A and B are shown apart, each in its own frame.
Chain A
Amino acid sequence: MKEEAWIIDDNNTYVFGAKRFIELVNGCKKVNVFSEAPRATKQLKKRIQNKEQLPDVILLDINMPVVQGWFFLDAIQDLLSDEMKRNVRIYVVTSSISELDRLKALSYPIVREFVNKPLNLEKIRSIMAA
């Protein structure tokens, strides 16, 4: 079982569903939700500074109002050490089926997978098992 998962998404319904799937598969002990990318960035920075535990999994939406998910990806690129990059698994989960979005997301080495919404139980199970 993973220790901590982050969900960065502004859609409350999705966040509710995702959390419930994680609970159902017993995926991890703790889920942290950020509705805005800058908050998540700030939090991650703080943890690195305090040398605190980092999340095992981050489910990141890229289509968000004001600041898009890309901002988060750009920001953490330099924050994380190589070891951290290996340990923090980032999944881009989005309703976009745009090929451009997919290619752009996968161009970040830290992004493990580009996942189309809707999420289902099986997908969450495989993400949490990885």
Chain B
Amino acid sequence: MKAGKNIHYLQSELEQKIQEDLSIFHFIEASALDGLWYWDIENPDEEWMNARFWETLGFDPSQMPHKASAWQTLIDPDDLRLSLDNFNKHCADPNHPYDQIVRYQHALGHTVYIRCTGMAIRDDSGHPIRMLGAHIDITQLKVTQNLLQDRVALLDQANKLAKTGTWNLDIATSTVTLGKMASRILNLKQDYAYDFDDIMGILYGVHKDKMHATLDRLKASPSTFDDEFNVSIGSDQHLWIRVIGTSVFEDGTCTHIHGVLQNIDEQVRTVRQLAHQEQLFRKTFENASIGMALVGLDGSWMRVNQSICRMVGYTEDELMALTFQDITHPEDLDNDLSLLQETLDGVRDSYVMEKRYYHKKGHLVWVLLSVAIVRDDRGNPLHFISQITDVSKSKRNELELRKSLGRLESIYQNNTQIAMIELDPMGLIVSFNEGAENLLGYQRKAVMGKTFKDLFMLEEELNERIDLSEKSYNRGAFCVVIDSVHEHGFDRHEWKFRQKDGSYLPVQMTVTPMWDENDSIYQYLAAITDISKIHEAQVEVETLLNVTTAQNDRLRNFTHIVSHNLRSHTGNLQMLLDLLSLEDSSLANHEIFPMLQEAAQGLHNTVEHLNDVINVHSIQGETMVSIDLNGLVDNVLTGIKAMMANAGAHVKIDIPKGLMVKGIPAYLDSVVLNLITNSIKYRSPKRPCEIQVSARPKKDMVVLTISDNGLGMNLPAIGDKIFGLYQTFHKHSDARGVGLFLVKNQVESMGGRIELKSKPDEGTSFHVFLRSSG
């Protein structure tokens, strides 16, 4: 303590008292200080310290020696070094203060902070011989200080973690300074006095106005604000910050506004993203084309969308009043509930099932249900989210398909007469039905996977077919079949198949391709039928044909005999009779001679008729042509002009011009000629002969009608015999009995038919049905 120029009188008085009364010194020494020591520099281990010295450090003074070494083990080594350093400097230069804070270890172990000061007492030459020192316990102060330091560090840390920094607006200078974190957040300098207007520049458009308004309010009266702003912190980089501020007033004037700002970008963005996602979900949910529903843990609907309402025919309100159990088909309910339980128990996160709902109208709706559970962040189930697709249509198709597949399968399997064998592209047997087992004698399992061709087919038959196809097959002989399938869509052929017992079976095999969903052939189906019965029948037919051909040949021979030999004999007979009558006229007068002549003529006629009959049958197969009916009738009439004139017959024709029929000209000629001459022959002697020839189209036929007013016939009595061979129904000299037989045969040969109506003594009408041309 330095003595000033003007010493207070009390000070000088105390100094006087202390020198006179030692007790006063003792009082000071005991109560004002936390330790007093007096050290002999010339004998460094000798040191006196008062009781307080040791009490401060927690020791019993009576137990402690007056030695310097006693405290040197208690002091912090670093602090000891600092003390000695200060001592040496103080000894050399009295102006260097001996004053430092040192740490002692208290007897109880904790640290005691001591402010230690000292003053060297020097001899006349100024050489220090003694050292006087005082201790002040500043532990309390030091602990508080450390605590404060810790708090500041903590605050810094908290600021950093909370991305919070301080700011200050000085109203007088209109400048803004930013704390460490605030500057970092805003990407600006720390503790730099920014111009207020400049700093406002980083605020986003409308937020600038908001900040101005807020600060104006705060300048007007002491108040606080807490708001969010968007700021720009560099090109194209924006940040959401929360700014809290308080206005500070001095003498009724706002001197500054200070506060904190916080980077809340992440939170804002998260919140916005959440809102966006929520909206996204809501829109998706409401407008989804598939049914969507939030279902409570109890099965009640929490939310349903329009699609599901449409699917089951209820309005949203109606559906909300029901549970999913209410509209689920009872057969599907157990399965659904158990899956739901498993999901609830955490065995699974979701499940998919096909189930049936009842539509409001009562019919079933097939749906594909996909259910997922939604849990909170602690894993507790909140609700289910269901996606429901109407699969009724595809279900119906599937059922339909399954039905027809089943049908096909049963056809395939139960066909015991037709072998059905599926082959893979390599010609290996993939399936073998019961029919195949019956037909070929092998058991299914014995042939699966084996080569079809090698098992059943004869190489020489395949080779024969290859020779006929005039192609070359270097991929195996069976390719001739496969190639045909590819070319024509199927292959049908007759083969001889080798049966298990080694015998051969004539079969017809039809191979068709089987297409997969990509329209490529993945297999072949061979359907094989036993044609041995057909073969036998064929042999029989061939035998029959041979017999018939032989008979035909004999018939032809007969024709030849009739047409040539028989005719030549009858011809000779007639010729000889002629000659006889010419050479011996007396013979002609013999009563037998005319009878002989008549018999010869009769024989001749019979032969002629037989010829006609044979000719009808031998001409069959001749081609039909288009014939103009008018022209044909005209021709016929011209040919019998003389006959008509002799009989006084009159013919009326009524045939539409250009009416065409299909027929064989010679036959039709014969038919018309026969019918007209018949009308003339069997005319009534009572009246002039009137014949009408008419024709009318009727559907795809033409009806040619030839009617007369002649003798007529008693049809019921005659019946079918009218068209028989050698039937005559008139006692007419010229009745041959062949005409109508021929006519009927010829009409039928041309694909037509003939009908007649007749009444005795009124007339006859023949209706000839002919095929119309074109």
Which A residues have a C-beta under 8 Å from some C-beta of B?
A: 11, 13-14, 17, 20-21, 24, 63, 94-98, 117-121
Within 8 A of A (CB), among B557-609: 563-565, 567-568, 570-576, 578-579, 582-583, 608
Grouping DSSP codes into helix (H, G, I), strand (E, B) and loop, the B interface class, with mixed when no group exceeds half, is helix
A120: chain B residues at CB < 8 Å are 574-575, 578
Identify which of B567, B576, B578, B582 contacts A95 (C-beta below 8 A): B567
Contact A17 B579 (CB under 8 A): yes
Q: Is B306 an interface residue (CB 8 A)?
A: no
Identify which of A24, A98, A117 contacts B571 (C-beta below 8 A): A117
A118: chain B residues at CB < 8 Å are 570-575, 578
Contact A121 B578 (CB under 8 A): yes
A14: chain B residues at CB < 8 Å are 568, 571-572, 575
Chain A nearest CB, measured from B279 CB (Å):
102
A24: chain B residues at CB < 8 Å are 579, 582
A11: chain B residues at CB < 8 Å are 568, 572
Chain A nearest CB, measured from B621 CB (Å):
15
Identify which of A21, A98, A117 contacts B568 (C-beta below 8 A): A117
Identify which of A17, A20, A98, A121 contacts B563 (C-beta below 8 A): A98
Contact A63 B564 (CB under 8 A): yes
Closest 9 pairs (CB-CB, A-B): A118-B571, A95-B568, A117-B571, A95-B567, A118-B575, A17-B575, A13-B572, A118-B574, A95-B564
Contact B563 A95 (CB under 8 A): yes
Which B residues have a C-beta under 8 Å from some C-beta of A?
A: 563-565, 567-568, 570-576, 578-579, 582-583, 608, 611
Given A20-B579, A21-B579, A120-B575, residue A97 in contact with residue B568 (CB < 8 A): no
Given A11-B568, A14-B568, A95-B563, residue A121 in contact with residue B576 (CB < 8 A): no
Given A21-B575, A96-B567, A119-B575: 20 more A-B contacts, CB < 8 Å:
A11-B572, A13-B572, A14-B568, A14-B571, A14-B572, A14-B575, A17-B575, A24-B582, A95-B567, A95-B568, A95-B571, A96-B564, A97-B563, A117-B567, A117-B571, A118-B574, A118-B575, A118-B578, A120-B574, A120-B575
A120 and B575 CA atoms in complex are apart in Å by 6
B574: chain A residues at CB < 8 Å are 118, 120
Identify which of B567, B576, B611 contacts A17 (C-beta below 8 A): B576
A94 and B608 CA atoms in complex are apart in Å by 14
Closest to B619 in A: A99
Chain B nearest CB, measured from A127 CB (Å):
15
A119 and B568 CA atoms in complex are apart in Å by 10
Closest to A61 in B: B568
Chain B nearest CB, measured from A102 CB (Å):
12
A117 and B568 CA atoms in complex are apart in Å by 7
Chain B nearest CB, measured from A94 CB (Å):
8
Contact B582 A96 (CB under 8 A): no
A119: chain B residues at CB < 8 Å are 571, 575
Q: Which of A63, A117, A119 has the most chain B CB atoms closer than 10 A to its own CB?
A: A117
A24 and B574 CA atoms in complex are apart in Å by 17
Contact B576 A97 (CB under 8 A): no
- A sample of 23 inter-chain contacts (CB < 8 A) reads A14-B571, A14-B572, A14-B575, A17-B575, A17-B579, A20-B583, A21-B575, A95-B563, A95-B567, A95-B568, A96-B563, A96-B564, A96-B567, A97-B567, A117-B567, A117-B571, A117-B572, A117-B575, A118-B570, A118-B571, A119-B571, A120-B574, A120-B578
Closest to A20 in B: B579
Chain A nearest CB, measured from B636 CB (Å):
18
A17 and B583 CA atoms in complex are apart in Å by 12
Closest to B559 in A: A98
A98: chain B residues at CB < 8 Å are 563
A120 and B573 CA atoms in complex are apart in Å by 11
A79 and B564 CA atoms in complex are apart in Å by 30
B564: chain A residues at CB < 8 Å are 63, 94-96
A91 and B582 CA atoms in complex are apart in Å by 24
B567: chain A residues at CB < 8 Å are 95-97, 117
B608: chain A residues at CB < 8 Å are 97
Chain A nearest CB, measured from B716 CB (Å):
38
A119 and B571 CA atoms in complex are apart in Å by 8
Given A20-B579, A24-B582, A63-B564, residue A97 in contact with residue B571 (CB < 8 A): no
Contact A17 B582 (CB under 8 A): no
A14 and B572 CA atoms in complex are apart in Å by 6
Contact A121 B571 (CB under 8 A): no
A27 and B567 CA atoms in complex are apart in Å by 26
Closest to B666 in A: A99
Closest to A122 in B: B578
Closest to A98 in B: B563
A63: chain B residues at CB < 8 Å are 564
Given A14-B571, A17-B572, A63-B564, residue A97 in contact with residue B578 (CB < 8 A): no
A94 and B565 CA atoms in complex are apart in Å by 10
B572: chain A residues at CB < 8 Å are 11, 13-14, 17, 117-118
Chain B nearest CB, measured from A104 CB (Å):
15
Identify which of A13, A94, A96, A117 contacts B576 (C-beta below 8 A): A13
Chain A nearest CB, measured from B448 CB (Å):
66
Closest to B604 in A: A118
Closest to A17 in B: B575
Chain B nearest CB, measured from A16 CB (Å):
8
B576: chain A residues at CB < 8 Å are 13, 17
A14 and B611 CA atoms in complex are apart in Å by 21
Chain B nearest CB, measured from A115 CB (Å):
11
B582: chain A residues at CB < 8 Å are 24, 121
A94 and B564 CA atoms in complex are apart in Å by 8
Chain A nearest CB, measured from B585 CB (Å):
13
Contact A97 B611 (CB under 8 A): yes
A120 and B567 CA atoms in complex are apart in Å by 15
A120 and B580 CA atoms in complex are apart in Å by 12
Closest to B567 in A: A95
A13 and B578 CA atoms in complex are apart in Å by 13
Closest to A21 in B: B579
Chain A nearest CB, measured from B610 CB (Å):
11
B570: chain A residues at CB < 8 Å are 118
Q: Which of A20, A94, A97, A98 has the most chain B CB atoms closer than 10 A to its own CB?
A: A97
Chain B nearest CB, measured from A120 CB (Å):
6
Closest to B566 in A: A95
Chain A nearest CB, measured from B171 CB (Å):
142
A20: chain B residues at CB < 8 Å are 579, 583
